[in-house]
């Protein structure tokens, strides 16, 4: 591809999807300017605010993301929210291509009465609290008052939360967990955790690797007490298990203990939450969660039954997934959005009906996929971006020069990569994450 001018690419977001796509575009030996816009002062999205503190190997992709900043074709604009500080229309006026990689901003809801009670916490807030998301630093979940916790949903986020709740506090001491979360874990009285799901064992959402990590808490005296054989055994009778399910079953058989005196956790299946009961003596806590039991029909469908059950718990944590939202100007600019899925409709990352507009990561895949799966998607999207840019013969777009002027006019302090390095070095020197944006901004200004 021969370029006659320097095309401009705007990337919205700075999580793994945004970085891998940028790095993949930079691999092509072409004159291009890539500007990355992140609404927070700090980059990396859920790698910083989602991935569990005891998974440093997963977070190590951040090192690779630093490589983008070493390329003069790339620039980072932190603390710049698209839709607020810079309008989407202004991006289209100033860039040849736009890559939407802004992830999922909301959590799913259960839609049951009592869901807004303070002792019903969604995983997004809970994870943000222990990972230092400034929005959640005051969450203060009452782990010092809740002996029993129910988690709804059984994906890998639920497994992270099982470890947070039950691993000994010293497990977290040398991680980047927030000091206030560590302090609360030291005071925690959580003894019993139930992980509840609507479907059956075979449809468990966790991966065996994350499941095993929770099972291995038995070394610290945390027992896995199974799932309730009454639902499990008939379920598996006559079923043909695949390799992953066989392994999952072996893990259960190896670790499952009948009952436990001390800390324990269990998986519960075929239960749909119907409502909560509040503790009349301590109204800030729950008493129990009420479930409707389900059964699996011969054709494999989940069918509600008339039977109800309840689980005693003082705190309920919802791990039922995240949801993407359209940006404010989508309607105005005729950018499609699938509200049901919470994703931008696309073909291999090309946004349907839009020229030189792409999406990647959770906003493209309806909040599904790991960092590894994002790597492959990003490489595909980058190849489309570059191929389509090749058709732009002479770019008249102003890119970062125009945007920098707009930000100055609007008094927006954009965080550039040097500023971010200062924040990162400060955090390393202090051995903790900064958890409010003003302190980050003041470190940059020092
Ligand atoms: P994100 O990482 O969410 O990044 C989106 C970015 O866009 C954010 O920084 C956001 O602030 C920014 N943004 C949003 N709106 C705007 C706007 N208007 N203007 C500018 N910027 C904006 N995967 C693994 O492989 N291993 C794990 O151990 C693992 N643990 C996880 C734990 C949790 C609790 C969660 C929720 C997910 C975990 N994942 C893990 C999945 C992984 O985090 C995702 O696959 C990945 O982060 C998705 O990347 P993304 O770039 O699409 O979105």
Phi, psi at residue 79, to the nearest 5°? Answer: 65, 25
CA 376 from centre of chain: 18
By most ligand atoms within 8 Å of CB, the mutation choice from 11, 12, 36, 51 for ligand 1 is: 51
Residue 125, both tokens: 């807030």
Residue ranges of the annotated binding site for FAD are 17, 38, 46, 82, 362, 369-371
Give dist(CA 392, CA 371) in Å, integer: 31
Tell which wins on pLDDT, 276 or 2: 276
Looking from the CA of 290 toward its CB, the CA atoms found within 13 Å total: 12
Decide: 196 and 110 in contact? Cβ < 8 Å: no
CB 157 near ligand 1, within 6 Å? yes
**pTM for this predicted structure:** 0.94
Contacting residues for 406 by C-beta, under 8 A, at least 6 apart: 86, 90
CB 114 near ligand 1, within 6 Å? no
Give dist(CA 155, CA 199) in Å, integer: 12
Taking alpha carbons only, the member of 114, 106, 99, 142 closest to residue 349 is: 99
Q: Is residue 236 predicted with pLDDT exceeding 70? A: no
Pairing status of strand 74-78 against strand 33-38: parallel
Q: What is the ipTM of this complex?
A: 0.99
CB 10 near ligand 1, within 6 Å? no
CB 83 near ligand 1, within 6 Å? yes
Residue 51 C-alpha to ligand 1 middle, in angstroms? Answer: 9
Phi, psi at residue 302, to the nearest 5°? Answer: -85, 120
Residue 404 C-alpha to ligand 1 middle, in angstroms? Answer: 26
Q: Which atom of ligand 1 is nearest to the CA of 210?
A: 28
For ligand 1, atom 18: residue with the closest CA: 82
Please name each of the domains of the chain with its CATH number. 8-105+324-445 (3.40.50.720), 108-321 (3.50.50.60)
Taking alpha carbons only, the member of 265, 264, 226, 270 closest to residue 248 is: 226
Between the two ends of the chain, the Cα-to-Cα distance in Å is 45
By most ligand atoms within 8 Å of CB, the mutation choice from 11, 13, 163, 363 for ligand 1 is: 13
Residue with tokens 């991935």: 51
pLDDT for res 273: 97
Lowest mean pLDDT among 115-129, 242-256, 325-339, 418-432: 242-256
Cβ atoms within 10 Å, residue 138: 8
pLDDT tens digits along 29-40:
899 999 999 999
Taking alpha carbons only, the member of 103, 39, 31, 79 closest to residue 399 is: 31
* pLDDT grade for 1, boundaries at 50, 70 and 90: low
By most ligand atoms within 8 Å of CB, the mutation choice from 46, 163, 372 for ligand 1 is: 46
b/e burial code for range 63-90 (CB count within 10 A of at least 16 → b): eebeebbeeebbbbbbbbebbebbbbeb
Residue 102 C-alpha to ligand 1 middle, in angstroms? Answer: 8
Q: Is residue 309 predicted with pLDDT exceeding 70? A: yes
Helix (H) or strand (E) holding 408: helix 400-409
pLDDT tens digits along 172-181:
999 999 999 9
By most ligand atoms within 8 Å of CB, the mutation choice from 15, 87, 157, 369 for ligand 1 is: 15
pLDDT tens digits along 361-378:
999 999 999 999 999 999
pLDDT tens digits along 77-123:
999 999 999 999 999 999 999 999 999 989 999 999 889 999 999 99
CB 159 near ligand 1, within 6 Å? no
Q: What value, to the nearest 5°, has the Cα angle with vertex 159 and ends 294 and 246?
A: 65
Residue 28 C-alpha to ligand 1 middle, in angstroms? Answer: 25
CB 128 near ligand 1, within 6 Å? no
């Amino acid at each position: 591809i021969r370029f006659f001018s320097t095309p401009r690419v705007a990337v919205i977001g700075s999580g793994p999807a945004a970085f891998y796509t940028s790095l993949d575009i930079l691999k092509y030996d072409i004159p291009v300017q890539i500007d990355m816009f992140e609404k927070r002062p700090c980059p990396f999205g859920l790698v910083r605010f989602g991935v569990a503190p005891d998974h440093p190997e997963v977070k190590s992709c951040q090192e690779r993301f630093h490589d983008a900043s070493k390329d003069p074709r790339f620039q980072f604009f932190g603390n710049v929210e698209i839709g607020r500080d810079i309008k989407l229309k202004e991006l289209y006026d100033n860039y040849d291509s736009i890559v939407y990689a802004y992830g999922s901003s909301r959590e799913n809801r259960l839609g049951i009465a009592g869901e807004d009670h303070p002792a019903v916490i969604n995983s997004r807030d809970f994870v943000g609290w222990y990972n230092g998301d400034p929005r959640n630093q005051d969450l203060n979940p009452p782990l010092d008052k809740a002996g029993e916790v129910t988690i709804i949903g059984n994906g890998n986020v639920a497994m992270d939360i099982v470890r947070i709740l039950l691993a000994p506090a010293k497990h977290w001491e040398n991680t980047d967990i927030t000091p206030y979360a560590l302090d609360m874990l030291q005071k925690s009285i959580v003894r019993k955790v139930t992980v509840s799901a609507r479907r059956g064992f075979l449809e468990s959402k966790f991966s065996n690797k994350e499941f095993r990590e929770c099972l291995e808490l038995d070394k610290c005296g945390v027992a896995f007490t199974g799932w309730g054989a009454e639902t499990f055994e008939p379920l598996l009778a006559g079923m043909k298990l695949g390799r992953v399910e066989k392994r999952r079953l072996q893990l259960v058989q190896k670790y499952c203990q009948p009952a436990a005196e001390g800390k324990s956790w269990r998986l519960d299946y075929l239960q749909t939450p119907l409502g909560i009961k509040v503790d009349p003596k301590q109204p800030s806590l729950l008493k129990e969660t009420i479930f409707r039991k389900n059964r699996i029909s011969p054709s494999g469908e989940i069918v509600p039954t008339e039977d109800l059950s309840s689980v005693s718990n003082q705190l309920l944590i919802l791990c039922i997934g995240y949801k993407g939202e359209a940006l404010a100007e989508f309607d105005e600019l005729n950018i499609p959005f699938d509200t049901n899925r919470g994703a931008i409709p696309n073909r291999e990352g090309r946004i349907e009906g839009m020229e030189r507009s792409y999406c990647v990561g959770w906003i493209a895949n309806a909040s599904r996929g790991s960092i590894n799966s994002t790597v492959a998607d990003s490489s595909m999207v980058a190849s489309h971006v570059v191929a389509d840019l090749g058709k732009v013969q002479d770019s008249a777009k102003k890119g970062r020069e125009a945007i920098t002027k707009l930000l100055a006019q609007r008094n927006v302090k954009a965080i550039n990569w040097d500023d971010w390095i200062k924040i990162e070095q400060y955090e390393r020197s202090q051995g903790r994450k900064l958890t409010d944006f003003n302190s980050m901004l003041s470190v940059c200004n020092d």
